[in-house]
Amino acid sequence: MEALTSVPNEETIQSYTEILKSVEWQTGLKAVAILLIGLAGVKLFLRYLRRLLKKTNVPAAVHSILLTLLRVVLDLVVVLAALSAIGIPATSFIALLSLAGLAISLALQGILGNLASGLIVLGSHPFDVGDAVEHDGIAGSVREIRMMHTVVETFDGKVVYIPNSSISGGRVINMTQAGKRRVDVKVSASYNNSPDQVRKAIGEAASRTEWILEEPAPLIFLDSYGDSAINYEIRVWTTPAHFLDVKNRLTELLYTTFAENKVEMTYPHINVHQM
């Protein structure tokens, strides 16, 4: 028996050719039947396994990678079984595959690197499908984690395929995992209005805004003194799903509560004094 690490030489390959020439049609038909029935069985098994995985706690991102790897292994087993049926030793065929795999791995180092990075991403678990993330200036929602790429749909509707090697070796900001996000809104008020008066108007706007969390509590502070106005900043917390809703609603209500409390919402202007 040949060792698994041996490579089929010219004499061995010639013997395979003789085996193929001597195969009777009944044996060949048996091998074809094994191949067709085996591949069909693999397909049905993987379809059943995909439905089964959806009912488990296994992350959705793992499904496609697990099923792909399993399909490659099972298809190889079926092919080896078909070859064995016509008398070709499986050990030499595996050795030939090992040699081809080595050549392919040298030619496709970048692709294999992305594949390994995909496994690292799944193992380190920096995000799940559906999380809002930011990486290398790209922000959006994770649609799918594939073997080579992570698919992200940006907030303006673009679909971006990010190589897993870039993700595993770079910085990823997960805006969903903590369960809350901070909304920062800046507003300016006239020097004619006292800070207490402005804070009262801002507090009313925050209290009327839906989806703001009680903890951490909203924070209102005087940020800086501008040329023609005092600048204030409001920081409130909400769930990731309501981030834009809170930012929009709070900004709208500031205009209303400023008017109700007679707080002047200023805009940049220049005073010209004639001597």
Instruction: Note whether 71 and 153 are same-domain residues.
Output: no
Instruction: Note whether 186 and 249 are same-domain residues.
Output: yes
Give residue 146's domain range. Answer: 125-174
* Strands 159-163 and 138-145, bridge-based pairing: unpaired
In the prediction, which pLDDT does 1 show? 39
Instruction: Note whether 147 and 190 are same-domain residues.
Output: no
Question: DSSP letters of 122-189?
Answer: HHH----TT-EEEETTEEEEEEEE-SSEEEEEETTS-EEEEEHHHHHTS-EEESSTTS-EEEEEEEEE
**Residue 236 in domain:** yes
Instruction: Note whether 71 and 40 are same-domain residues.
Output: yes
Give the residue from 136, 151, 174 where a domain finishes.
174
Q: Answer yes or no: are the C-beta atoms of 138 and 152 closer than 8 Å.
A: yes
Instruction: Note whether 160 and 221 are same-domain residues.
Output: no
Q: What is the dihedral of CA 187, 191, 195, 198, to 10 degrees?
A: -50
Q: What is the pLDDT of residues 103-118, one digit of tens each?
A: 555 444 555 566 667 6
Q: How many domains does the chain have?
A: 3
In the prediction, which pLDDT does 72 show? 81
**Residue 3 in domain:** no
Which CATH number characterizes residue 217's domain? Answer: 3.30.70.100
Give the residue from 64, 79, 114 where a domain finishes.
114
Per-position pLDDT tens, the chain of length 275? 344 444 455 555 555 555 555 556 566 677 788 889 988 998 999 888 888 888 877 666 567 767 777 888 888 888 878 877 777 666 655 655 665 555 555 444 555 566 667 667 776 778 888 999 999 999 999 998 877 788 999 999 999 999 888 888 889 999 999 999 999 999 999 999 999 999 999 999 999 999 999 999 999 999 999 988 999 999 999 999 999 999 999 999 999 999 999 999 887 656 665 66
CA distances from 101 to 7, 79, 98, 221 (A): 13, 16, 5, 63
**Residue 271 in domain:** no
Residues paired with 128 in a beta bridge:
none
Distance between first and last Cα of the chain: 108
Which CATH number characterizes residue 166's domain? Answer: 2.30.30.60
**Residue 120 in domain:** no
In the prediction, which pLDDT does 148 show? 77
**Residue 54 in domain:** yes
Instruction: Note whether 20 and 44 are same-domain residues.
Output: yes
Residues paired with 163 in a beta bridge:
149
In the prediction, which pLDDT does 145 show? 83
Which CATH number characterizes residue 21's domain? Answer: 1.10.287.1260
Instruction: Note whether 28 and 94 are same-domain residues.
Output: yes
Quick one: CA dihedral 50, 53, 59, 65, positive or negative?
negative
Q: Answer yes or no: are the C-beta atoms of 143 and 154 closer than 8 Å.
A: no
Helices 90-107 & 60-85 angle (0-180, nearest 10): 140
Give the residue from 90, 114, 138 where a domain finishes.
114
Q: Answer yes or no: are the C-beta atoms of 4 and 96 closer than 8 Å.
A: no
Instruction: Note whether 109 and 14 are same-domain residues.
Output: yes
**Residue 153 in domain:** yes
In the prediction, which pLDDT does 120 show? 74
Collapsing DSSP to helix, strand or coil, 3 comes out as coil
Instruction: Note whether 19 and 101 are same-domain residues.
Output: yes
**Residue 4 in domain:** no
Instruction: Note whether 106 and 152 are same-domain residues.
Output: no
Q: What is the pLDDT of residues 17-61, one digit of tens each?
A: 555 555 565 666 777 888 899 889 989 998 888 888 888 776 665
Lookup result for tokens 């909203």:
218
Residues paired with 238 in a beta bridge:
181
Instruction: Note whether 207 and 139 are same-domain residues.
Output: no
In the prediction, which pLDDT does 7 show? 47
**Residue 274 in domain:** no
Instruction: Note whether 15 and 110 are same-domain residues.
Output: yes
